Structure 1
Amino acid sequence: MGRRRRLLLWPGLALVAAGLALLGYVAWEFWGTTWVSHRHRDQAVGALRQAWHDGDGSVRTRWGDADAIIRIPRFGASYAVPVLEGTSDAVLATGFGHFSGAVGPGQVGNYALAAHRITHGEPLRRMPDLRVGDRVIVQTRAATYTYRLTSAGDALVVPFTSTWVTAALPTNPEGGVEPAQRAGQRLLTLTTCSELFHTDNRMVAFGVLASVS
């Protein structure tokens, strides 16, 4: 091998190695994190069900405090995702995050939740499939709360800085999609990324409590 070819070999190998590392990173972000998150999600759901069996309303997991399980029939009969307090990275890598300061399930006000749409379990990957009237079922030890969506999953996209969507009675400053402006409502808000890749916008859907069992 000539000296010139040897000089070119190592930079070429370095580029190949960098490319493989980048592909590995992308594969991990899109598939690896979801695989791990599904395991954590299932463990959190199992721990929460055991806590309910033992008479406790919530359970402390490695990823946060969980107190509810979300079911969305449009996403399939096996869909069961835990709700954990807060919106930290660890929480959102496990299931739904319950915004700090938001009311609890079934209470007057806005039960506001966030979840990933891509990577880390992807609880709301199919958010655009949600339609007005779809059920979002929130199971707790005390009761099961069924909300009906009043806006479709892709009807509202806002900047991530739009904090009005998690208010007790969300009021759209632009006069667009919003819940009926009546005091005393028991609302649900779902938020997630508006696109499958990086975005600073959020897709938002609103619902209202329909029944308690």
Structure 2
Amino acid sequence: MRIPVVHHATRRRRAFRRRLVWTGGELLVTVGVVLLLLVVHQLWWTNREAQQGAERKVQALEREWGEPGDSSGSSTVGSARSAEAGSGTTKTPSQRRQTVAVRPARSQAYAVLAVPRLSLRAPVAEGISKTGVLNKGYVGHYPGTAQPGQAGNFAVAGHRNTHGEPFRHLDRLRPGDTVTVETRAATYTYVVDQVLPQTSAGDGGVIAPVPRSGVSPSHGYEHRGYYLTLTTCTPEFTSRYRLVVWGVLASARPR
């Protein structure tokens, strides 16, 4: 009977393979833990941090504005338009300048957007910068579009996932739902009118003064008015397409 002889070189190779497998396993476990922590950071911590910061900003704005005025009831869109146009008398250049809203500074929070169906209250800031606005859990106002209550299209964007995700459930909005935008001067109520479930990220027509999709022309409007546009990414956890919700101004209540 032959007794197998195990050479030292064979033992060394086996030991090396065992160390290699063990080291590879440790590396895989370490990478898995790191990836898990990154996911937790993105999906939980950034949300928590941004949501708390956004809530504090809403409270700060409301403290800054003070209590609403004693104005009775809310004016109709017609009243808002007549207030904007004046009483019909000719105004001096100085008087006309006083009626023009001051443009907010870049990344400045200046309004509060509320959506009752979504139990959402979020600050609105000027611009759509990720670091300066969206990643803070704010809703960002598209520069160049109308301001709240003005003729044209007040268009905003918000994250759907991570960083506060204020528009996480934007797809739940239906025609007839209300969206309010509160500023230092007034509270504007818009009524959801149309929903565009999906369009391309480059469909700039959805935020035009008279919003209309260039990808799906059956969605949008043909005449000037007082519009609100809410945009976010879709499907969830991607940024490939955009979900769009349009509303029409229904009332304006001075503070």
Determine if the alignment matches structure 1 residue 143 to structure 2 residue 158: no
- 2:134 aligned with 1:92: yes
User: In the TM superposition, what are the counterparts of 1:29-178 in structure 2 within 5 Å?
Assistant: 29-53=42-66, 64-76=107-119, 79-90=120-131, 91-93=133-135, 94-152=137-195, 155-173=196-214, 174-178=216-220
Residue pair 1:58, 1:65 contacting (<8 A) in 2 also: no
State the TM-score, normalizing by the size of structure 2: 0.74
Identity %: 38
| 2:162 alignment partner, SS class | coil
Following superposition, the deviation at residue 58 of structure 1 comes to 9.8
Deviations 1:169-213 (A, max 9, x none): 11233422113x222x11000000111111321000111100011
TM-score normalised by length of structure 1: 0.88
CA–CA separation in structure 2 for the residues paired with 1:4 and 1:178 = 65
1:196 aligns with 2:236: yes
Shift of 1:128: 1.3
The alpha carbon displacement at 1:156 in A equals: 3.4
Q: Residues of 2 paired with 1:172 and 1:125: CA distance?
A: 22
* Cα distance change on mapping 1:111 and 1:58 into 2, 3 Å: closer
> What's the C-alpha RMSD, in Å, of the aligned pairs?
2.2
Q: 1:23-73: per-residue Cα shift (whole Å, max 9, x none)?
A: 11111111111011111101211221232239xx9998xx93011101111
Cα distance in structure 2, aligned partners of 1:13 and 1:95: 41
Q: Higher Cα Rg: structure 1 or 2?
A: 2
Extract unaligned runs of 5+ from structure 2.
1-13, 68-101
Q: Distance in 2 between matches of 1:104 and 1:199?
A: 26
Task: Please state whether the residue corresponding to 1:9 is helix, strand or coil.
Answer: helix
CA distance in 1, matches of 2:158, 2:239: 14
Query: Which of 7, 10, 17 is the matching residue for 2:30?
Result: 17
2:171·2:197 contact (CA, 8 Å) conserved in 1? no
When the two structures are aligned, how many residues end up with a matched partner?
203
Question: Is the Cα–Cα contact under 8 Å of residues 51 and 59 in structure 1 kept in the other structure?
Answer: no
1:28 has 2:38 as partner = no
- Unpaired segments of 5 or more residues in structure 1? none
Give me the whole-angstrom Cα distance separating, in 2, the residues matched to 1:47 and 1:58.
20
Query: Compared with structure 1, are the counterparts of its residues 74 and 122 closer, same or farther at alpha carbon in structure 2 (3 Å cutoff)?
Result: same
